[in-house]
A and B are shown apart, each in its own frame.
Chain A
Amino acid sequence: MIGATTQTACDSCLRRGYLVGRLAGHIAGALDSPRRRPTGLLALPDEKLIEAVAGEQAHDALGFLEEFDAERARAAVECSGSVAVCCHDSSFPIQLADLEDAPRVLFVKGRGDLASVGDVDPCVALVGARRASPCGLEVTHELGRGLGAAGVTVVSGLALGIDAQAHRGCLEGGGTPVAVLACGPDVPYPRTNRRLYEQVCERGLVIAELPPGQRPFRWSFPARNRIMAGLARVTVVVEAAERSGSLITSDFAIQLGRPVGAVPGQVTSSRAAGSNALLKDGATFITSAEDVLDELFGSGRRQSRSAPSHSQAEPAPAGDPVQGLLLEAVEAGLGVDGACAHTGLPVQEVRAGLSRLEASGHVSRDALGIYRRTAADRPGSL
């Protein structure tokens, strides 16, 4: 949508978009619990929706419908730097039509091309916990980068943790990131990710169902999840607790009959309980971007665009059994003392060995000096 100045959305769809924005507070009130999915409601036509949620203020809402000034709305959208694209537009993502309550208008911001999202470039939704483990973050980064490099559009929600990491990885891999927001397209939410939001605008797209300027509501997060699931051909969950919002996304994907993948997590960790449960139910086992590409294009087949090689790790140090043992110890999270016990070496040699592995890119350390194996090093990743 580079510099598109024409607001192509038709009056009725634009009005619908603004009506949802206008009724956002009422929708929150009409749901039994604030986190319920507003699926049924958003499928209703305008008048029925007002009747269902507005209650005593239905009259005002109907007045809003009648007095809606499409030109002013277009000017406001224009002013926020976004574009409204309605479902009658040729660039509207066709795959969203599978949703029974598909939004009739999307507010879009950024330099990416909405028409190619999911049509030319296949889409993968990469979602997960906000409170993610360092390992989960690293895997996500690798997945995002691998997919981005393979020319796959990575859809995520710009939330903290896994979502943000997916966008970062995709940006690094040179792909097109798509962020679906639960607020207006011009609202960088959460604010911590403001810089990332700007980068996504620069290189990809920000998509929202609510009109510009709207703040997020609790119901608008599950609503946003349905759009992510609707856009993506494959949905991958990295780390999700048992009652995580990411599982809402995967539920939508399952309802749509689209493939769902999950990255296995530690069995004892509650943070990965949800994603592990998905695997148990038959989700595709994802350990690298290759696995996602296999799911997208069929085993071993790829899109014509070749993925640039990004591998920074030298081949695994074959032939040196000590290094292998050290890698095992790091992978198992044994710590330095544990690595001494595992290899039977004195601590001096373990430290020295670990820093050799660090130099060759097989392990890395966080700010407090705790070693972990780099994702790039795991067999089968890009």
Chain B
Amino acid sequence: MLASVATFALEGVDSREVTVEVDIRRGLPAFTLVGLPDAAVREARERVRAALLNSALDFPLQRLTANLAPASVRKAGPSFDLALALGVLVASGQVPSEAASGTAVCGELSLSGALRPFRGALATALGARAAGYERLIVPAENGSEAALADGLEVLPVPSLERLVDLLHGRWTPEPARPYPVRSDTAPHAPDLADVRGQGDAKRALEIAAAGGHNLLMVGPPGAGKTMVARRLPGILPPPSFDEALEITRIHGVAGLGDGRLAAERPFRAPHHTISPSGLVGGGSQPRPGEITLAHRGVLFLDEVAEFSRGALEALRQPLEDGFAEITRGQRSLTFPARTMLIAACNPCPCARGAGDCRCNDVDRLRYSRRLSGPLLDRIDLVCQAAAPPAAELVDPHGGGVESSSVIRERVIAARERQRGRLAGSGAYCNADMDGRLTRRHGALGEDAVQRLLGSVEQGGLTGRGHDRVLRLARTIADLAGESRILAIHLEEALGYRLASPVGLAA
């Protein structure tokens, strides 16, 4: 007899439907698995056999052939176990075949017959919903995550025995519900009010958040660059439901999430020894890299000059396009990578501060060159992070420092203004504007025109720099609630723009 069961396999951060066909025939007892399974899938045979027998079910002593279709795609991982077991049960008549129709299953088996959780439950559920399935059966631990996909009945099942009961109609599980959204996140999220001093870095952070600009912080070690960067997710608008779903899905695939809907944007701070594939994704079974894990959130590169050239080069395309494309063997995968980049570096290679610095101009030039090229074209702002003076550190009141929630209000208002202006243009925030959009929306006040002309004539501003300054000035004007860019906005933007590294050679 022939049975066919639907399951889903992870491919990048998406899932792809796989049909498990099981055929039982008379002959010498054997269990053959075809359809490009990898070692973990091949081992499923042993797990399925033991799990069936330990659940007081029959393992047919006949010739079993299981096929994973489409046969051209390589299958990996243990999440096919449950579908194989169900296929055997249906094919051997232990479960009515119509009971499994319209249902997808996914899960790993233990030898005892209990179901073990798998990675990427939300991605699987979204895939099942998109493929038109009404029900998804998953291990109990995956229920809440999978239930985040609306309009799909997710049935959490603890064991193989219970699965058989369910399909015979002898038992009905409570459909899984997503975990309630945590309401207590606010006290845990680090607040900008904790940061003393750092006026320049905080202001730059606010502008970056308001316009989605990438930021470079320059300052001596210990000045608090990481502390400031870590507080960026707290002043960004909270993720919308769809964004949260994307974040949760990606983190589920990477095995990072706890099954709850992400309430905060992710903050990823990879160490500078990371490899290019660790940063943008890769491996023979391609896994998401740090930039994908930071999707809809913040990627923080501390000591950015120490990252390998290859790693920084690899970042260029994802930062430009908002996704990372990984080609391995015959297939190519796309990982989402829409993230804000915050980079930090020291003012010079010795990192000793102005007074004791022993670097010569060549060392300095070499240091700034390491940053240049791949990364600097994607950075709109550069700010300074200086260690706050002692008086400010010990001041118990912190002198009227704004909290993250106040700044967040302003950021959200500025983003609203951008959304209204950019609706339908394909750009989401000012940082996404190309040259044409920048010129259309960068309406300058009378005085600002003169000021910009002055800068261009002086030779301090190139064509590309001009667009970048205009984008930044647009964001500053949005923060101030002005519809036109005034001279003061433009001047502030000019203050944050990146000087060309050539300036150091002279």
Which A residues are within 8 Å of any B CB, using their own CB?
129-134, 137, 141, 160-161, 168, 192, 266, 268-271, 333, 335-338, 340-341, 346-356, 358-359, 364-370
Contacts and interface: CB of A to CB of B under 8 A. Distances in A.
Interface centre among A266, A340, A366 (most CB of B within 10 A): A366
B347 A368 contact: yes
A377 B304 CA distance: 34
B455 interface: yes
A337 B498 contact: no
Contacts of A161: 360-361
A352 B506 contact: no
A341 to B, nearest CB: 7
A160 B360 contact: yes
Contacts of A341: 389
Contacts of B502: 367
A134 B361 contact: yes
B358 A352 contact: no
Interface centre among A271, A347, A368 (most CB of B within 10 A): A368
Interface in B354-373: 354-362, 364, 368, 372
Nearest to A354: B495
Contacts of B340: none
A135 to B, nearest CB: 9
Given A337-B200, A355-B494, A369 B384 contact: yes
Given A337-B388, A355-B492, A365 B358 contact: no
A268 B354 CA distance: 10
B382 A369 contact: yes
B361 A160 contact: yes
A238 to B, nearest CB: 13
Contacts of B355: 266, 268-269
Contacts of B362: 160, 192
B200 A367 contact: no
B499 A366 contact: yes
Interface in B385-423: 386, 388-389
Ranked nearest first, the 9 interchain pairs of A and B with the lowest CB-CB distance are A351-B495, A352-B491, A131-B360, A336-B200, A355-B494, A367-B501, A367-B368, A369-B382, A355-B495
B361 to A, nearest CB: 6
Nearest to B358: A131
Contacts of A141: 506
B492 A365 contact: no
Contact of B383 (A131, A269, A359, A369): A369
Nearest to A370: B347
Contact of B368 (A133, A349, A368): A368
A168 B492 contact: no
A359 B455 contact: yes
A319 to B, nearest CB: 19
Interface centre among A160, A333, A335, A359 (most CB of B within 10 A): A335
A9 B181 CA distance: 92
Nearest to B498: A369
B198 interface: yes
A141 B503 CA distance: 14
Nearest to B368: A367
A335 B384 contact: yes
Q: Is the interface of B mostly helix, strand, loop or mixed?
A: mixed
Contacts of B199: 336-337, 340, 346-347
Nearest to A190: B362
Interface centre among A132, A338, A351, A364 (most CB of B within 10 A): A351
Interface residues of B, number: 48
Q: Is the interface of A mostly helix, strand, loop or mixed?
A: helix
Contacts of B506: 141, 168
Contacts of A336: 199-200, 383-384, 386
B362 to A, nearest CB: 6
B433 interface: no
Nearest to B382: A369
Contacts of A168: 506
Contact of B492 (A335, A348, A368): A348
Given A269-B355, A335-B200, 9 more contacts: A337-B199, A337-B200, A348-B203, A355-B495, A356-B491, A369-B382, A369-B383, A369-B498, A369-B499
Contacts of A340: 199-200
A349 B488 CA distance: 8
A36 to B, nearest CB: 25
Contacts of B202: 347
28 contacts: A130-B360, A131-B360, A137-B361, A141-B506, A192-B362, A336-B383, A337-B198, A337-B388, A338-B386, A347-B202, A347-B203, A350-B200, A351-B200, A351-B492, A354-B495, A359-B454, A359-B460, A364-B503, A365-B503, A366-B364, A367-B499, A367-B500, A368-B216, A368-B347, A369-B218, A369-B382, A369-B383, A369-B384
Contacts of B359: 131
A246 to B, nearest CB: 14
Contacts of A365: 499, 503
Contacts of B496: 351, 369
A333 B355 CA distance: 10
A130 to B, nearest CB: 6
A369 B476 CA distance: 19
A349 B361 CA distance: 31
A133 B357 CA distance: 8
A78 B356 CA distance: 47
B73 interface: no
A336 B494 CA distance: 14
Nearest to A352: B491
A132 B359 CA distance: 7
B72 interface: no
Interface string B332-365: 0000000000000101000000111111111010
A368 B218 contact: yes
B442 interface: no
B402 to A, nearest CB: 12
A366 B454 CA distance: 20
B348 to A, nearest CB: 8
B197 interface: yes
Nearest to B495: A351
Nearest to A336: B200
B249 to A, nearest CB: 38
B39 interface: no
Nearest to B499: A365
Contact of A352 (B360, B372, B492): B492
Contacts of A134: 361, 364
Contacts of B500: 367
Interface in B191-250: 197-200, 202-203, 216, 218
B458 interface: yes
A192 B451 CA distance: 39
A365 B362 CA distance: 17
Given A130-B360, A131-B360, A168-B506, A368 B389 contact: no
Contacts of B216: 368-369
Interface in B266-322: none
A192 B475 CA distance: 42
B488 A352 contact: yes
Contacts of A132: 360-361
B504 interface: yes
A191 to B, nearest CB: 12
B349 to A, nearest CB: 11
